[in-house]
């Protein structure tokens, strides 16, 4: 009896030791990821999803979207230095969600989207100096929603989305002439609810869905040559281990932005998530970063100001968010600074 008791204690001790080791490894794995998120002043507008966000200089802007009951046309400015929000002139177009937005050095632009009945192609310019909106030439492509937009060298680009069919076209907007020109279509699949980034004068489009299939191809656009280049797939397609976890990159309704020559994708996916990945265009490789520290979500908006990224709004199920988080991509994770 005594021998059996000793054996039971020995087995119990071994189990506790093993559990402690595995638990410590799990914590170490989490802490090995680089990047830190800090909660800043909540968005002053209504919680919402599918809004538009962009930055001009040191200010961030968020407007339009859907709050679970109605579509919105209010417009807000975030002042990084004051860590505060102020309401600006309402977006004058019809209230909408799933629109796109981008900014040049001095002006912001919003266009396309969905008003609950109609797909839209109107296009508007915002001047932060005068806090005024002006209607510009309608988007050159078909009315649509859930497209992507980019700004490269003070020209705007809108492509992909849904107009009753899935799309892969690309249109360039010249603010000086207020004109649209169709450019070479994306070399890969049609898609909606994709993500885009701009890094060192090149545009990147990836993720999204086409006819129920999550897209795993990624494409780089050079506006100087009007040529698309296929990059590494965002899936586990090689025998090497660099892409073993890439499957968490694919999906829809992700936030894309760039900081200091690298691109970032966060939240969204195949469901509401906290996933964050960093893209290095030199190596064409992705690195997992510390997960978003707010609630898991999709259909958020994001933008970059200086050396930081920002994510706000979004939804998870029927819950809509109004918090905003700043992202320090090279900082160590700090659980105490939320």
- pLDDT tens digits, one per residue of 273-324: 999 999 999 999 999 999 999 999 999 999 999 999 999 999 999 999 999 9
Q: pLDDT-derived band of residue 16, with 50, 70 and 90 as boundaries?
A: very low
- Across residues 235-240, what is the average pLDDT? 91
d(CA 120, CA 106): 25
What DSSP state is assigned to residue 162? B
d(CA 52, CA 69): 18
Q: pLDDT-derived band of residue 19, with 50, 70 and 90 as boundaries?
A: very low
- pLDDT at position 335 is 83
Structural tokens at position 213: 């299939």
Rg (CA), the chain: 22
- pLDDT at position 23 is 45
* pLDDT at residue 14 tops 70: no
Structural tokens at position 44: 């002053």
How many C-beta atoms lie closer than 10 Å to residue 326's C-beta?
Answer: 17
CB 61 within 8 A of CB 79: no
- Across residues 54-77, what is the average pLDDT? 98
**Span of 3-7, 68-72, 314-318 with lowest mean pLDDT:** 3-7
d(CA 139, CA 117): 18
Tens-digit pLDDT profile for residues 189-215 = 999 999 999 999 999 999 999 999 999
Among 93, 133, 140, CA closest to 115: 93
Strand, coil or helix: what is 243? Answer: coil
Strand, coil or helix: what is 18? Answer: helix
Q: pLDDT-derived band of residue 32, with 50, 70 and 90 as boundaries?
A: confident
- CA–centroid distance for 18 within its chain: 40
* pLDDT at residue 27 tops 70: no
Kindly provide the residue ranges of all beta strands, DSSP E only, lying in 160-246, ordered along the sequence: 170-174, 179-183, 195-199, 202-206, 209-210, 213-214, 218-222, 227-230
| Residue 40 to residues 67, 102, 313, Cα–Cα distance (Å) | 21, 23, 13
* pLDDT at residue 46 tops 50: yes
H or E segment to which residue 310 belongs = strand 308-312
User: What is the pTM for the complete model shown?
Assistant: 0.90
H or E segment to which residue 2 belongs = helix 2-32
- Across residues 253-277, what is the average pLDDT? 97
Q: pLDDT-derived band of residue 15, with 50, 70 and 90 as boundaries?
A: very low
Say which residue, 5 or 105, is predicted with more confidence: 105
* pLDDT at residue 167 tops 60: yes
- pLDDT at position 338 is 65
* pLDDT at residue 4 tops 80: no
* pLDDT at residue 11 tops 80: no
How many C-beta atoms lie closer than 10 Å to residue 237's C-beta?
Answer: 11
- pLDDT at position 337 is 75
CB 231 within 8 A of CB 284: yes
d(CA 169, CA 163): 11
H or E segment to which residue 264 belongs = strand 262-266
């Amino acid at each position: 009896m005594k021998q059996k008791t000793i054996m039971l204690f020995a087995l119990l001790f071994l189990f506790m030791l093993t559990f402690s080791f595995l638990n410590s490894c799990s914590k170490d794995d989490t802490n090995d990821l680089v990047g830190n998120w800090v909660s800043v002043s909540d968005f002053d507008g209504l919680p919402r999803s599918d809004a538009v966000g962009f930055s001009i200089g040191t200010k961030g802007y968020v407007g339009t979207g859907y709050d679970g009951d109605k579509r919105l046309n209010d417009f807000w400015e975030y002042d990084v230095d004051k860590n505060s929000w102020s309401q600006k002139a309402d977006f004058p177009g019809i209230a909408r969600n799933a629109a796109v937005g981008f900014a040049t050095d001095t002006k912001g632009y919003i266009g396309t989207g969905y008003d609950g009945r109609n797909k839209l192609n109107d296009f508007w310019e915002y001047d932060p100096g005068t806090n005024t909106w002006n209607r510009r030439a309608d988007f050159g492509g078909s009315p649509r929603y859930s497209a992507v937009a980019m700004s490269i060298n003070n020209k705007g680009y809108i492509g992909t989305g849904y107009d009753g069919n899935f799309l892969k076209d690309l249109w360039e907007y010249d603010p000086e002439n207020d004109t649209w020109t169709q450019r070479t279509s994306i070399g890969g699949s049609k898609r909606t609810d994709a993500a885009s980034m701009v890094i060192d004068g090149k545009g990147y489009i990836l993720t999204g869905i086409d006819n129920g299939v999550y897209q795993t191809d990624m494409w780089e656009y050079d506006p100087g040559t009007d040529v698309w280049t296929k990059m590494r797939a965002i899936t586990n397609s090689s025998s090497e281990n660099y892409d073993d976890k890439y499957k968490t990159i694919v999906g829809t309704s992700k936030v894309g932005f760039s900081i200091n020559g690298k691109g970032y994708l966060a939240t969204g996916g195949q469901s509401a998530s906290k996933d964050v990945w960093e893209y290095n265009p030199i190596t064409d490789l992705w690195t997992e970063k510390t997960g978003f520290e707010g609630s898991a979500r999709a259909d958020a908006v994001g933008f970059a100001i200086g050396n930081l990224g920002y994510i706000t709004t979004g939804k998870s199920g029927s819950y809509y968010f109004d918090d905003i988080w700043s992202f320090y991509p090279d900082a160590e994770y700090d659980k105490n600074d939320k």
